[in-house]
Structure 1
Amino acid sequence: MIIGVVLVFLITFLKLPLKLNFFLRLKHGLD
């Protein structure tokens, strides 16, 4: 159970910078 929570936390932590980078790239592209 603890391993599952850690896994979800890691996936969210890794996906967050990718989404942020995509958003910044999209904003930069629109400018």
Structure 2
Amino acid sequence: DAHAPIFDVSDYKVISDWEKIVDALIAKLTK
């Protein structure tokens, strides 16, 4: 649905998991 919010509540867990993955990658790159 083109009118749905970009960050839908149902996607919160997926977004949170993605941020954790990104944080982990950054931590490895900056170790």
Q: State the TM-score, normalized to the length of structure 1.
A: 0.64
Q: CA deviation at 1:12?
A: 0.6
Residue segments in structure 1 that go unaligned for 5+ positions in a row: 1-6
**Structure of larger gyration radius:** 1
Q: Which runs of 4+ in 1 moved over 2 A?
A: none
Partner of 2:3: none
Partner of 1:22: 22
Q: State the TM-score, normalized to the length of structure 2.
A: 0.64
Equivalenced residue count is 24
Residue segments in structure 2 that go unaligned for 5+ positions in a row: 1-7
CA RMSD of aligned residues (A): 1.1
Query: Sequence identity of aligned pairs in percent?
Result: 4
